[in-house]
Each structure stands twice: as C-alpha cells, then as structure tokens.
Structure 1
C-alpha cells in the first residue's frame, strides 16, 4: 500500500520547550493511523504542523511523494489536508452554512451563494449520516453537533487526509458510533484518517496502525493487535491500573437539594422539566444521558450561570435559587465546567492568574487591595507539581498549554479548595490514561472526606465506575435513579433513550 503522507525528522521548538523532536510518520492510503500519547506528548503540535498552523523548526513533509511546504492552513487545505481541532475553529455568532463557506471563493462575489452551499451541505450531511440544520447558529448547537460542523467543513473543502484531534472526547457512545460510521464512508473514497487520541480502547477498535509519542519523541509504530497494557506503558512510561478502587459510600446529610427545577435553553425551549434530586455528603451522584438532554443547563442553574423559571435549589439547607455564581462558590462549592475555554480558564492569562480566579480577593492571596504575588507564585508552583501540569513555568499563558494540561489546571484550582460540594462535568475530558487515573482518585478522596459530588459525563463506563448512584436524564427529565451495581449497560441505554425506570424491566 502506497504512502499518502510522509513526515521526516519533524522538530518544533517553542520558548523553553521542544514539542516535537525528530519525529518520523508515515500514513498509508486508505488507512486509519492513530496517534497515541499522554497530554503534552506532542500529538497536536505535530498535526498543527501538518495542517499549516505551525511551521516546523526542522524536517520535511511529503504528500503523494511530492515535497510540500505550508505557510498557512489554506496551503494545507489546497493539498487535501483537513483538520478538525480539539477546540473548534467556529464563529459562534454565525450560522452553520456561514462557518462552512467562510473564506471560500464565491461564484458571484462579493455576494454569498447561500442557497447552493446549503444544498451541498445537506448532501454531505445526508451521505455521512450527520444531520445538521445549515441555518442554526453555532451557539445553539451542542458540542457534539459543533464537531459535525467542523467535519463537514473539512469535507466541503475537499479533504483527502482528515485529521481528527481527540474527536471522541466530547461525544456520547452513540455519537462515537456515528463518527466511526462516517469514517468508514470516508475511507471508501480512497482517503486516509489520522486519529489523535489518548483512549486506548477506541484506538485499538478503529485504527490499522498506531504511532505512540511520549515527551515529544516517537516511541514506536505498532499494529492494532498490540495489547492495551503495552500501549499504556508505551504512552506514560509505567504500568497503569484501569480499575477504579473505591470503598462503598457512607452518605451523610443532604448537601444539594433540587426541587421541581424548570429552565429554558439558549433557544428559548424547555431544557429542564420539573427536575428533583438530592445529593448527600460522602456520595457521588452520576448524571448519565446523551449529550444535549439538559445536562449543561442542569449544571448551569446549580452554579448560578443560568436562571430557573420555577423550582428551588438548596445547598447545605441555604436557598441559592438564582444567586450570583460568586455567592454560590463562597458556600465552598467547586465547579469543573463543560467547556474549559468558555467558562473554565482565561486563555490570555498565565497559570498564576488562572489559579486564583476564585480567591484573588481573599487573604493570603491578597494584602489589602494588592495581590500577594509571592504567595500566589508559591501556591501555583505547588499545584503545578502536585497535579503534574506540564509547563515551562507558572508565567506561561494558559492558551499555550495542551488541552489536557488546561484541564489539569482547572482541576487543581477546584479540588485543592476541598469543596463540600463539587459540580463536575466531563472532568476527565481530554486526559490520558495516567491523568484520568489520578483525577478519579482525587475525586474519590474528596468523596471519602465527606464531600457531595454531582458527576456528569457522557462516558457511560466512567459513570458506572465512579458513581454511587446514577440519575439518567432524557429530554430534560429524570428517567430514574439507579445503583450501578444493580443496573446493566443495556438498562441504562434504554433509560437514556427515554424509557422510564419502572418500564425498563417489561422491555428487557
């Protein structure tokens, strides 16, 4: 099988960091080639070079045996390379069709031929099974739907080599299946896919060959028959446990009580429909559901980021309904948000500044009206070491961290405060196996110290393994609350599809 892509001796230096060190990579025509590595291993940097976003410090790139050099992503697109970035390159205020045709030549310039573009987008959507309304605004779409827009945008521009950067980190199990089906359709057109991931099971399931990177260097290229244990060892340089060890919960008093919550989504439609829940101290309540069924709105109303129309929210017996987010956080509440860029960190602030976003006005972070930078620096350096955040220094802007290290930054800020109530949504999104193991251990330690935890995730196995109880949400309603040890994945799947708990047994 001939090589579609060859990258030879690729090296990329940033100030204080060698992100890629003499990496060689070959991708064959018609194959799915996985790039596997822990956070900060250099996967995204290597692909940013291939997609024209970065220029390599050294090295050569060949497409169909022709040497190429890219000065911009536009050059890479012209050579048939399309990349779907981990953090989407979409303009939230524009519609789907406007985002897809942005920057492309039009038949009747300066006029936009929206009607023709919508027709083509609809054809792409139908062919690849990714139904999207071309006229929807990006801000109205779920994260999974936004990813589909990015994929359609790459295909619309004629991609022959599709690069998917952590594509399943924002998807539900059903959406992952749909993505894999789309990839199969794409390969039938004699194209290739580079699949960047840290999820070993998925990499083994979908890829033909796997290249493992660690600390900016290529470890080895292997077949998908390589064992999960060996791939994990190659990734992180040590043995990794895939089993979550936790003692049975010892629930205490109610820490969070939701009574008949009703709220609207951004489109003015009903998102939450009379939701009532209780979370006790010393337990993890998991929220399972297909993305877009009210999980985001539920987290936002609890943390004060969205108003409710009806109902009551109590934390430790205190009515916090529609309170300002700061007032809620001051009740010793931690929040790991769904979108780290929108509500988790400030990208153009450094690590020190991001680490004190909650506490900058509270001593010892400040002295009177002045920030105590000596303490803040020591505090940040301590958390960088404790949470293994890969960065040259605490002065680095957060936008220069890898996605996984940005997530670790948020986790460090939220967990070190030892909150009484933690609201966590997709807490392990974008993390490698070693980091996931560490984060889950920290959250379980928090539970064992008596904190109540609302744990929202679209990773169904993670919900089962982490939760003491599971509440299944569908279309803004709770289908039922179950115990993971008494419930099968099939039963959870039926509830996630809209079957009430009491009706499940009659179906199975």
Structure 2
C-alpha cells in the first residue's frame, strides 16, 4: 500500500492551442490523512491542477495515482468513484432548492425508482452532520442561508458521496473571520476522522494552523515543498511571489478639511424584514485625502450601508451627501457620473457580467462615452488599449489580452480587473468593500499601495473590510459599527487592536480587569 493518497506526477495542461500553459510538468504528492496546502499566486495553476484531479479537465501529459494505483479520471462522476470530492471556490448550489435537495442532487435515494425517499435521505445526512459536527437546517432554501452555511452544504455534498479525499479550493475567501475559524476546526475534525485534505489558500496564517505540508507553485511550475512547522517569517509568501515582500502601511494620517462625502442620520430597512432596521441613525463624514474604514463583525449593517450609498437600496430616512448634493434619489448611473467608484463585496453579482469578456467588463460603465464611442460607433482600438493597460498594471492572468470570458478567470484575477477598473476611472470617492478578498499576498500588497495612492491624490475613500489587519494598515480613521450604529470613530494612528475588537463585539472600553490600551 502506498503512503500517498494522491500523486499527480509531471502534469502538464495547456489552453488555447498551447498558448496558455496552466500547469507545466507539475508534481504533487499528498500523504494519507494529511492536510496538504497548495499555495501560489492568483493564476499560478492551483485550481487547474485540482480540476484535473476532479476530472473537470484532462491533462495533456502526466500521470495520476490514487492510493498508489494509476487512474484516469475522465469526469467528476469518475472522481466520485475514486472517493474524491471538491468544494469549489464559487459554490455549485441551486439557490431555490432546499439544503437536503442540493446535498442529494444526482444521487437521490428513490422508492420504486420514481419517488424521492426524502425521509431516508434526511436520515443519512443527519447521521453525517452528527458525525462531523456540520449542522445546518435541511429544509432551508440555499438563498436564505449564510455563505458559511452554504459552504457546509458543499462539504456535506461530498461526504454524502463517501469522499475520502477532499479538495478545498480557496474555501475561506468568502467567509467572515468567525466562519473561517469554524471551517478550520471542521477541517481538523475531518482529518481526525481519517480524511485526506488538499487545501488551496493564500492565507499563510491558515496554513500554519491546520496544514502539515505546503507545496508552492508559481507560473504553473513547482517551486518547493515545505514542512509547515519549520516555516519562519515570510519565506512561504516570498516563495509564492518570487521576491521580497514589502509591508504596505499608511504612515501619514493627515487629510484635507474639505468634506467630500457625508452620511447624515441614515436609516435603512433590512431587505429580509422591512419591519427591522439594518442601519439606524448612522452618520459619518469623509474629507479629501481621507481613508475612513468601517470596522465590524459582518452582518451589523455594513452591507445595507454600502447598498444605500451606492444606490442599490433606498434609505427610509436620513441623507447621503456627495460633493454637497443630496443623492438619496439619484440613480446609480448618475452617482458614477458624479465621480463615485464602487468595488463591490460580491464581484459576480455587482461587479461584472460573467459572460462578457474582460475588455467589455473593464469599459462597462463608460462604453457610451469618448474615447470608447465616437459618433455612436464603438472604437475597439481604444477599448483594447485601455483594457490592456489595466490588465498589465494589475497583472490579470489568463485574460488572453482581454478576450477571455470573465467567468473563465480565477476569482482572484476577476477581482484584480474589477479593482483596476474602479480605481483607474475618474472619481472623487472610492467606495471599496473587501478589496483583497481572494487575492494572493503579492496582489494584496499592490492593491493596498493603490488605495494609499488614492489618499495621496486627495481622493476620499470609504473602506469596509472584515480583515482588522487591513483596516489598521490603511485607515486614517476607523468607524466601528455594531447593530447598525456607529459606536465610536477612532484615529487609526492611536487605536489598539484590542480596543477595536472590544467595540466590534459591543463591549465598553471600561471593562473591569481588561486593559485595552496595552
């Protein structure tokens, strides 16, 4: 018997008639019952390699062994037969169907080969939930549960199919910090039950918490395999990007006196229940050259605040003032024309049209204006010139000079061109939510530097991030939100992490026995 659950030997995979080399003679060996991290920049070839293991692509050359036996995995059904399951970065769930229906979809237990045996299916799923501590409401619709719960459904799907080898493709990219901690505990629990896990991630702290080994790939090639317990400093991150990393931090907390943007006593109803307020009597002000960060646990009104600011939701009371004009009743298009840019939290829903190519998405808001349109005719040369500039500047990989469909790019590369589009277009206010979600450490470094460049150019920035380290690295001032209200606004150059954390949790700053200024 082999000591390895998975061996992918000398794998090569190309696209576009060999013009794009995604995997270049890559080798990955994963020991049984290990959590093995697969690490690399956006577009390094990680997801392609795992898609080959799951049968979604066929390699041009190379060999795959499962438990020491050579195999040919022609499709995901074949992968399931070899007890391989995959939790994709973007979930494969039917939103209008119930949880139990999604878990059993395609392998339903039936009576008389006609009727779905709902009771038996739910009983089997409940046993799995109890065994692995993965509880979720089986009768809830997918569209009504949180992202973290949806991910549990994806994990239950593969466990329901008796998978022993589990692939997690950037599973924490869409989760809150609390949900990330829960997922890491679930992974350790799965390992304790005898499962083998391949963990694709960019987050080095997560690797150190759960992984035994880490394989780094860059530009489709092997770089090095690490023993995680021996990793020190930034050696893993530097292996990913092939250079020394620079910590980007806001060191100048001064800003102009002119107000660019104000929210005045804003109240916004919850989308799910209009009897309740998601945001209540909230006020904040942003000046020229100021980065104001809103910090809080996800679900405390940030989503509704941003949707009201950008025109996706209409507030029930209060004012939103941009450059001296109340924009409560102003269209989204008009807000863009006034000089508002928006990097949305959900890039798929609000940031792009998935079946448009990259170039078309980059010029989406401005396609009817010069230089992209002249005399009602689209100037394709100008579209390509501008689009390729952003693709090059933000290192958007796999775009085929912008001709590739947006849905064909990795999540990180989709995020890069959305960020590039919004920062590069003319604006006075940048509204940015989770700007580096799903990005590798090198891309995060660059995006952070671009956000600080906004400040240097006297732009106003409204930043919402659930990454406290990101907030503290970039902000001039930090408005802490809890239950739809701003609890306190703090100067970023004076505040301590513990102080923000206490406020985010709804605690007072004078808790007995707690020194929040250590």
Band the TM-score falls in, shorter-chain normalisation: over 0.9
**Unmatched 5+ residue regions in structure 2?**
none
Q: Which residue number in structure 2 is paired with residue 79 of structure 1?
A: 82
* Pair 1:95–1:371, CA change in 2 (3 A): same
Q: Which residue number in structure 2 is paired with residue 34 of structure 1?
A: 37
Does the CA contact (< 8 Å) of 2:250 and 2:473 recur in 1?
Answer: no
| From 115, 134, 158, the counterpart of 1:111 | 115
| From 253, 265, 268, the counterpart of 2:273 | 268
Equivalence map 1:35-74=2 (5 Å):
35-74=38-77
Aligned-partner Cα distance in 2 for 1:421–1:131: 42
| From 462, 471, 494, the counterpart of 2:502 | 494
- Give SS of 2:283's match: strand
Question: What's the offset of the Cα at 1:504?
Answer: 5.2
Question: What's the offset of the Cα at 1:333?
Answer: 0.6
Spell out, residue by residue over 1:46-84, the C-alpha distance to the aligned partner (whole angstroms, 9 max, x if none).
011111221212222111112222222122122221111
Q: Does 1:145 align with 2:149?
A: yes
Question: What's the offset of the Cα at 1:128?
Answer: 4.2
**Root-mean-square deviation over aligned CA pairs:** 2.1
Does the CA contact (< 8 Å) of 2:499 and 2:509 recur in 1?
Answer: no
Q: Does 1:279 align with 2:286?
A: yes
Aligned-partner Cα distance in 1 for 2:420–2:53: 32
Q: Which residue number in structure 1 is paired with residue 8 of structure 2?
A: 7
Q: Which residue number in structure 2 is paired with residue 211 of structure 1?
A: 215
- Give SS of 2:366's match: coil
Question: What's the offset of the Cα at 1:334?
Answer: 0.7
Aligned-partner Cα distance in 2 for 1:489–1:229: 22
Q: Does 1:173 align with 2:177?
A: yes
* Pair 1:131–1:413, CA change in 2 (3 A): same
Equivalent residue pairs, number? 507
Aligned-partner Cα distance in 1 for 2:115–2:51: 32
Question: What's the offset of the Cα at 1:392?
Answer: 2.7
- Give SS of 1:250's match: coil
TM-score (norm 1): 0.94
Does the CA contact (< 8 Å) of 1:140 and 1:267 recur in 2?
Answer: no
Does the CA contact (< 8 Å) of 1:201 and 1:228 recur in 2?
Answer: no
Aligned-partner Cα distance in 1 for 2:354–2:52: 21
Aligned-partner Cα distance in 2 for 1:339–1:262: 23
**Unmatched 5+ residue regions in structure 1?**
none
Aligned-partner Cα distance in 2 for 1:153–1:446: 44
Aligned-partner Cα distance in 1 for 2:134–2:322: 40
Question: What's the offset of the Cα at 1:124?
Answer: 4.2
Aligned-partner Cα distance in 2 for 1:199–1:337: 21
Question: What's the offset of the Cα at 1:11?
Answer: 1.1
| From 247, 257, 265, the counterpart of 2:262 | 257
Q: Which residue number in structure 2 is paired with residue 313 of structure 1?
A: 320
Q: Does 1:435 align with 2:443?
A: yes
Does the CA contact (< 8 Å) of 1:171 and 1:291 recur in 2?
Answer: no
Aligned-partner Cα distance in 2 for 1:84–1:493: 31
Question: What's the offset of the Cα at 1:123?
Answer: 4.9
Does the CA contact (< 8 Å) of 1:334 and 1:419 recur in 2?
Answer: yes
Does the CA contact (< 8 Å) of 1:140 and 1:266 recur in 2?
Answer: no
Q: Which residue number in structure 1 is paired with residue 249 of structure 2?
A: 244
Does the CA contact (< 8 Å) of 2:480 and 2:487 recur in 1?
Answer: yes
- Give SS of 1:410's match: helix
